[in-house]
């Protein structure tokens, strides 16, 4: 039996059935059951001829033809066009239906025993997970692609534009896989693209070139500029890029690249540069990057004096230096040698033969490295003795555990560490719990112990360099005076004064060890001027000086500066309180004694790379914006943006002149109703 599927267009003359959607479906089914009078069609094939037909009618007709059961989402509505010029099979009819629904924003979801017709946006929630390619096209499926060579997250920017709208692609970093929800026909295309992208990388070629005449570190700089920056863009990534590394110990250059031709080209370039000097001059200039030329010159003179000892019979082996008072025999340069520093350009001038220069250059390359920095956070606080005892301040000197036998400021009779039991895990200094920082500690001390936060100075300094911060006043103290007498009537009276800093000062010198600990020399002073003085100025001063050892990022406390204050207070009624004997009846006397404990909390953080320093700068930058929400850095461009890697682009983008717009804020005024008026702002 041949089957012809035709679209029956109902006329308005059909009484009572013109608006009923079931009539076309019944008539189509009757036509499909009648013998075909037209040309015989192949078995299991049909012609599709649906023009501007109700979507549900077409789906039911295809379901009758293919033997599938369809379930409709209530949001599925509309009309579609589906016409086939030649007879199609059941599989082809189903695929054509899926593509027609896709153009209308709907999708087919294959389930067990039925097919759902839903909006395309909901397809990712109902899609089935397939690991093999399905034979049925036009439906949404979810597939997992496990990658072997590439990183899954790196392929997301490449594949996301290829995924159809309303469908998703995600990366799983745990098993390096891609999860894609899309139509089956697009899944096949994405699978071919992923297969081509997930290919093994080219094998890296490594070559070691021994340098005989020149210095390896100098040739690395020249060769890298010639081969890797010839296109004018040093940040451009290329597969043929050559990586140069200098081995100072063997004076060799290590080459690494995926292209063997580039390796051979780099080796040829280095061999051409590694030629002996034709000139008889032994003077070399070394430009330093991080070290100080004056200090490094002194070190090199000392090293050359003790390590390169000439023959006692060689009269020409003398070491000369214009900056040194003596000329010890050190460098056998044939006609004398010297090491001189030029502080203006931070350059070393070395006069020596090639062998001696190479030995000195190895030392220079090792010493001329980026020095680590230490960021020191400190908290200086005053706590009364009774509050400190109630608060239970028990701190460990090194480990920070509450069970440590070595504690600073341990109070007798306090059985529990109230810092750990204060109800907030942020103050637990045990090894299993992290401390959020000195800011949280300051808040706890101020809230729980009613402490007086004197200051929270922060310092950053180089390794083994002293840093100092002082907040206070520069007060003049009279050290001597002269007044005119009868014998010296012609001399004007005068006074000699000496100014001293009064306030709060902190002086720290950190030294980083190889094990990650920081040794700090600390001097802290707190001074103030006594108000009630009869003659001259009297200062109250509390200071401590100590050396401590603390791990990177840990908090250590310095305490024990206790101040004992006794005050007498007399309150009386005027006149009556001054009467003899009976005056005590109209007086009230009180004596108070207070002990204040000055405690200093310090936390050092080691910054070894430029990335860590930039992260700290960005954190402080955000902190300023968070603590001052009314200040917008866009309106007040005081701090410039961090420069990018491309310096040429940055310099070209800078304006010729920088103009700042200042805004003057008028104070808030209150109207008659008592409400605050809006801020008025004027621009200059």
pLDDT tens for residues 404-443? 333 333 333 333 333 333 333 233 333 333 345 565 565 5
Among 20-24, 142-146, 360-364, the minimum mean pLDDT is found in 20-24
- Proportion of the chain above pLDDT 70, given as a percent: 63
* Cα–Cα distance for residue pair 626/326, rounded to 1 Å: 59
Strand partners, 384: 596
The predicted model gives 617-637 an average pLDDT of 67
pTM of the model: 0.46
Residue 561: pLDDT band with limits 50, 70, 90: low
**pLDDT value of position 461:** 92
**pLDDT > 50? residue 254:** yes
Q: Higher confidence at residue 300 or residue 629?
A: 300
Residue 535: pLDDT band with limits 50, 70, 90: low
Residue 558: pLDDT band with limits 50, 70, 90: confident
CA within 13 Å, CB half, 672 = 0
The predicted model gives 254-278 an average pLDDT of 86
Residue 189: pLDDT band with limits 50, 70, 90: confident
Residue 20: pLDDT band with limits 50, 70, 90: very low
Q: Higher confidence at residue 618 or residue 126?
A: 618
Q: How far is CA 488 from CA 484, 491, 493, 494, 637, in A?
A: 6, 6, 10, 13, 63
Residue 150: pLDDT band with limits 50, 70, 90: confident
**pLDDT value of position 281:** 66
Classify residue 118 as exposed, middle or buried by CB count within 10 Å of its CB (0-12, 13-18, 19+). Answer: buried
**pLDDT > 70? residue 383:** yes
Residue 336 Rama label (left phi>0; alpha psi -120 to 50; beta)? left
The predicted model gives 102-110 an average pLDDT of 78
Q: Which residues touch 430 (CB under 8 Å, ≥6 apart)?
A: 400, 401, 402, 420
**pLDDT > 90? residue 116:** no
For residue range 40-57, what is the model confidence (pLDDT) as tens digits? Answer: 556 677 878 788 888 888
- 260-273 and 216-228 are packed helices; what angle lies between their axes, rounded to 10 degrees? 130
- Measured at the CA of 424, the angle between CA 423 and CA 429, to 5 degrees, comes to 115
10 close to 17: Cβ distance less than 8 angstroms:
yes
Strand partners, 561: 598
The predicted model gives 496-504 an average pLDDT of 87
* Cα–Cα distance for residue pair 589/420, rounded to 1 Å: 41
Classify residue 529 as exposed, middle or buried by CB count within 10 Å of its CB (0-12, 13-18, 19+). Answer: middle
Q: Higher confidence at residue 586 or residue 310?
A: 586
Residues in the chain: 684
Residue from 142, 145, 152, 201 nearest 176 by CA: 152
The predicted model gives 568-593 an average pLDDT of 77
Q: Higher confidence at residue 367 or residue 434?
A: 367
Q: Higher confidence at residue 555 or residue 304?
A: 555
Residue 553: pLDDT band with limits 50, 70, 90: confident
Summary mean pLDDT of the chain: 70
**pLDDT value of position 510:** 93
* Cα–Cα distance for residue pair 666/631, rounded to 1 Å: 15
Strand partners, 342: 347
**pLDDT value of position 375:** 92
**pLDDT value of position 36:** 44
**pLDDT value of position 10:** 31
Among 411-415, 514-518, 541-545, the minimum mean pLDDT is found in 411-415
Q: Higher confidence at residue 508 or residue 354?
A: 508
Alpha helices in 80-176 (DSSP H): 90-103, 123-126, 156-159
**pLDDT value of position 507:** 92
Spell out the long-range contacts of 146-155 with Cβ–Cβ below 8 A and sequence spacing 24 or more: 146/175, 146/176, 146/177, 147/176, 147/177, 147/178, 147/194, 147/198, 148/198, 149/198, 149/199, 149/200, 149/201, 150/197, 150/198, 151/176, 152/176, 152/177, 152/178, 155/194, 155/197, 155/198
Residue 279: pLDDT band with limits 50, 70, 90: low
* Cα–Cα distance for residue pair 306/300, rounded to 1 Å: 10
**pLDDT value of position 385:** 59
The predicted model gives 77-82 an average pLDDT of 82
* Cα–Cα distance for residue pair 421/317, rounded to 1 Å: 73
Sketch out the chain's domains with CATH numbers: 140-201 (3.30.1370.120), 205-273 (3.30.1370.120), 283-369 (3.30.1370.120)
**pLDDT > 70? residue 163:** yes
Q: Higher confidence at residue 561 or residue 556?
A: 556
Q: Which residues touch 423 (CB under 8 Å, ≥6 apart)?
A: none
Classify residue 604 as exposed, middle or buried by CB count within 10 Å of its CB (0-12, 13-18, 19+). Answer: buried
* Cα–Cα distance for residue pair 127/123, rounded to 1 Å: 6
Strand partners, 155: none
505 close to 469: Cβ distance less than 8 angstroms:
yes
Residue 118: pLDDT band with limits 50, 70, 90: confident
Identify the DSSP state of 251. T
9 close to 50: Cβ distance less than 8 angstroms:
no
Give me 25's structure tokens. 């479906």
**pLDDT value of position 509:** 94
Give the position of tokens 């502080």: 343
């Amino acid at each position: 039996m041949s089957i012809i599927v035709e679209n029956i267009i109902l006329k308005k003359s059909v009484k009572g059935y013109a608006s009923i959607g079931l009539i076309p479906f019944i008539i189509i089914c009757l036509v499909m059951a009648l013998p075909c009078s037209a040309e015989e069609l192949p078995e299991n094939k049909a012609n599709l001829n649906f023009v501007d037909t109700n979507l549900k009618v077409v789906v039911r007709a295809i379901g009758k033809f293919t033997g599938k059961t369809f379930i409709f989402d209530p949001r599925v509505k509309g009309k579609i066009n589906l016409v086939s010029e030649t007879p199609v099979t059941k599989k082809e009819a189903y695929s054509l239906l899926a593509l027609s629904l896709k153009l209308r924003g709907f999708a087919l979801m294959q389930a067990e025993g039925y097919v759902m017709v839903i909006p395309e946006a909901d397809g990712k929630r109902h899609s089935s997970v397939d690991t093999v390619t399905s034979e049925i096209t036009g439906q949404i499926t979810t597939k997992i692609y496990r990658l072997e060579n590439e990183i899954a997250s790196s392929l997301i920017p490449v594949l996301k534009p290829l995924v159809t709208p309303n469908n998703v692609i995600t990366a799983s970093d745990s098993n390096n896989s891609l999860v894609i929800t899309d139509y089956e026909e697009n899944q096949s295309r994405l699978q071919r693209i992923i297969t081509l992208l997930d290919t093994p990388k080219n094998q890296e070629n490594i070559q070691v070139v021994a340098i005989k005449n020149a210095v390896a570190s100098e040739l690395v700089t020249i060769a890298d500029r010639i081969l890797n920056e010839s296109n004018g863009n040093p940040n451009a990534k290329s597969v043929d890029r050559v990586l140069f590394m200098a081995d100072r110990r063997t004076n060799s250059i290590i080459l690494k690249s995926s292209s063997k031709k580039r390796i051979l080209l780099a080796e040829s370039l280095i061999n051409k540069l590694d030629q002996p000097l034709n000139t008889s001059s032994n003077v070399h200039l070394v430009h330093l990057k991080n070290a100080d030329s004056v200090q490094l010159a002194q070190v090199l003179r000392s090293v050359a004096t003790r390590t390169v000892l000439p023959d006692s019979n060689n009269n020409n082996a003398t070491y000369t230096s214009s900056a040194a008072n003596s000329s010890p025999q050190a460098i056998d340069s044939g006609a004398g040698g010297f090491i001189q520093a030029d502080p203006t350009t931070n350059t070393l001038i070395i006069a020596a033969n090639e062998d001696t220069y190479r030995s000195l250059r190895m030392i220079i390359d090792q010493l001329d490295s980026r020095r680590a920095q230490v960021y020191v956070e400190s908290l200086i606080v005053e706590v009364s003795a009774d509050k400190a005892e109630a608060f239970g301040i028990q701190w460990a000197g090194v480990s920070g555990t509450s069970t440590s036998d070595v504690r600073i400021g341990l109070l007798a009779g306090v059985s529990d560490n109230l810092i750990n039991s204060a109800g907030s895990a942020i103050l637990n200094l045990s090894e299993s719990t992290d401390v959020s920082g000195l800011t949280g500690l300051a808040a706890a001390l101020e809230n729980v112990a009613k402490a007086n936060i004197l200051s929270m100075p922060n310092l950053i300094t180089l390794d083994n360099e002293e840093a100092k911060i002082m907040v206070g006043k520069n007060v003049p103290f009279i050290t001597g005076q002269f007044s005119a007498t009868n014998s010296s009537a012609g001399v004007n009276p005068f006074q000699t004064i000496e100014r001293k800093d009064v306030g709060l000062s902190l002086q720290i010198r950190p030294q980083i060890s190889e094990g990650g600990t920081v040794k700090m020399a600390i001097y802290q002073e707190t001074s103030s001027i006594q108000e009630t003085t009869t003659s001259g100025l009297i200062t109250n001063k509390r200071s401590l000086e100590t050396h401590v050892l603390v791990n990177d990022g840990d908090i250590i406390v310095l305490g024990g500066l206790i101040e004992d204050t006794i005050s007498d207070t007399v309150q009386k009624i005027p006149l009556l309180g001054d009467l003899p004997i009976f005056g005590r009846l109209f007086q009230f006397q009180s004596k108070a004694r207070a002990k204040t404990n000055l405690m200093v909390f310090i936390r050092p953080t080691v910054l070894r790379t430029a990335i860590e320093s930039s992260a700290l700068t960005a954190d402080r930058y955000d902190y300023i914006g968070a603590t001052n929400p009314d200040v917008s850095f866009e309106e007040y461009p005081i701090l410039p943006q961090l420069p990018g890697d491309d310096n040429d682009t940055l310099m070209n983008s800078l304006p010729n002149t920088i103009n700042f717009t200042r805004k003057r804020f008028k104070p808030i005024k209150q109207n008659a109703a008592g409400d605050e008026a809006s801020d008025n702002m004027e621009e200059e």
